[in-house]
Structure 1
């Protein structure tokens, strides 16, 4: 058997290089290569280990004729063309949990810096001013810390804050009441957190749902004198609105490690009173850099030697024998999960998955991972089939899986139930003719293909609805590609799944919701 070869194209520790050597993986250490140099040699390697400097674009991947795996020492993979890698069958891995402690510690450090105005006091003192009376800080003891996002990093921040004898309240739709009790925080809604917190720290990814979570409107709801800390992602805070609040003193202080545009050589917050900034240093400690380097070396070595997959962004753990059998079910699960995730409108409280028929006898772990990733993706950007189950578990969201050997109608059927706002919502599907199909919504049977954009409507089955719907869509220039209906019985609960070719403006959605027969309207998108 030919010894696998791995290229390391960014700076990495000797200990990580030694992992490859000790496991009989040939390794070449060539940091700082140009793109042309990388393209010239990448065809000789089975694996590629990188940090952030190496750009793995379509050109590099086209030359990587032997490449099987790319491992990123760190969480961000903006420097890797993942769709191109997937198309070429190259697994992309990262190390999402290697810098959690470091990032949490930086958030606590920034909280102290803001509370005691350490940056400004340092600059003043070193300028020879000795302005002892100018820098009158606040104690953190007995204050209330509001944590937005209480996952891996957020829960560590909460633990450290509890050690400072702060009271911790948390807003996180995925955080279960049981998990909140376990980690010692009070689970609250966002408006409650804004009204009560003496300091607010954010630990969520940047998604459409979290962008500007501290908008101008929400900043106005905070307590006078609040401290704002952001060591998570730029774009979570309306920076211009925060600057105004710092100038008026409504926000006492703020400390940011991340900005909407980076590198942040200029920003509306720079120069504002009591504002502290660092240049995205959350993961920048010796220990964190070493941890992610060692982890990525282990992961790549495991894969090239045994085929084991860990923290993959574009695949699940599937053996060569299982792959052909699971392929149509994985395609179905990705879409069912996306459907379920997009109808979680009021916090994710629980998930149930049911496998019926022949699929129940297969390896359902990658199927479940695909479902969970689809459900979580609308709210969590950094999610994949491998990390989804772990993240769900960390957040304490109840999850159950059931298997039944027989399915009443189909050879195999997969049903997903999500609890949101105290109510269960259900969608089921089956591979029919090798293609994923929706076979049930809210317990109502139908058969519908997944369309790239779909209109999901829950309505009462009364005359005039279909005509009114078609008229409004036609008037808006929206073409209907597919139309599928399901109902309980004449005059009772019904659903419509409408494949459409154009986007539905918010104003039209409001018009559809106002129809007398309509109970619920949602535009679903499937990539």
Structure 2
């Protein structure tokens, strides 16, 4: 392939956090690289100027939708690589209409989400949150009897997308039963992953740990509600690293006030929750500020992933994170 003109549209803030000098050097080997050196989210006019005559455009958080006004400035554009998660914020109907391919770094983010969910499961089963509080207050053995291991328990995974699948792979290292609820994935495919497909109700009734990895789409809005939360086992652990909209938060507060469950919430709706929200004060909630995907050095995994994708594109090999826009309705 001839040398490519590659343009990074995202603000300097995100470029510096995601792409190391080594990543930029790798990308630049395949042509010329134009980088946005301005802090702050790029305006549509700046994005159009940066994308002028580009063959490949790289975007990230804060970039505007790539509409006709921008795409008219880069008629040779063949690929958009989104150095973030969902492509929905930068997607416009013009991209598929013009035959432009689009890819995302969702896979890189999904690894961090799955690793975080695994860590939360281990620490919560061990009752470390409460034991740490007890020891700070002068206790030592109080509530040790509530400690459980990630051994011969059932882990329920709601959603077998990228993060859900990676969590299944991680759980292969443990002697646990894994149930998966996902209407878009067959029994055979889930079985090949080493898990068992189950309907949502069966999963909730059976699982000691429930980890949510479903996309935020109309069908999943408040899927964890008074009825479904009520199915969960006493002393079960609910982990949400997906989207806050998947949980009816009033219903979850009501269940948590019974003392039956422990919730680990990396996401809420909205974010952040109000200062007086019960999630901030209930003793059986672990509330995190949306850190599961990638933070600090973890963001550089995205940079490496995008550099790999540029190399694949330049070499004419299949992309790993290409998005089928026709399936976007069921993707995160």
Task: State the TM-score bracket (shorter-chain normalisation).
Answer: 0.7 to 0.9
Aligned length: 318
Shift of 1:265: 5.4
Residue aligning to 1:28: 34
Equivalent runs, 1:85-164 vs 2, <5 Å: 85-87=95-97, 90-119=100-129, 122=132, 129-132=137-140, 135-136=143-144, 137-140=146-149, 141-164=151-174
> What TM-score does the superposition give when structure 1 sets the normalisation length?
0.53
Distance 1:202 1:289 in 2: 22
List gaps (5 residues or longer) in structure 1.
Answer: 316-369, 383-527
Residue aligning to 1:5: 5
Superposed CA deviations along residues 233-261 of structure 1, whole A, max 9, x for unmatched, are 2222211111111111122x110112222
Structure with more helix by fraction: 2
Equivalent runs, 1:300-315 vs 2, <5 Å: 300=310, 302-303=312-313, 311-313=321-323
Distance 2:317 2:156 in 1: 43
Q: SS at 1:235's partner residue?
A: helix
Superposed CA deviations along residues 19-45 of structure 1, whole A, max 9, x for unmatched, are 22222x101233444425444443253
Residue aligning to 2:202: 192
Distance 1:177 1:308 in 2: 27
Equivalent runs, 1:250-399 vs 2, <5 Å: 250-251=260-261, 253-264=262-273, 266=275, 267-284=277-294, 289-300=299-310, 302-303=312-313, 311-313=321-323, 373=327, 380-382=330-332
Question: What CA RMSD, in Å, does the superposition of the two structures yield over aligned residues?
Answer: 3.3
Distance 2:154 2:266 in 1: 22
Residue aligning to 2:73: 64
Greater relative contact order: 1 or 2 (C-alpha under 8 angstroms, separation 6 or more)? 2
Q: SS at 1:64's partner residue?
A: coil
> What TM-score does the superposition give when structure 2 sets the normalisation length?
0.80
Superposed CA deviations along residues 381-407 of structure 1, whole A, max 9, x for unmatched, are 34xxxxxxxxxxxxxxxxxxxxxxxxx
Shift of 1:66: 4.2
Distance 1:306 1:189 in 2: 41
List gaps (5 residues or longer) in structure 2.
Answer: none
Larger Rg: 1
Structure 1 position 14 matched with structure 2 position 21: yes
Q: Is residue 236–residue 260 contact of structure 2 (8 Å, CA) maintained in 1? A: yes
Residue aligning to 1:240: 250
Structure with more strand by fraction: 1
Distance 1:263 1:276 in 2: 14
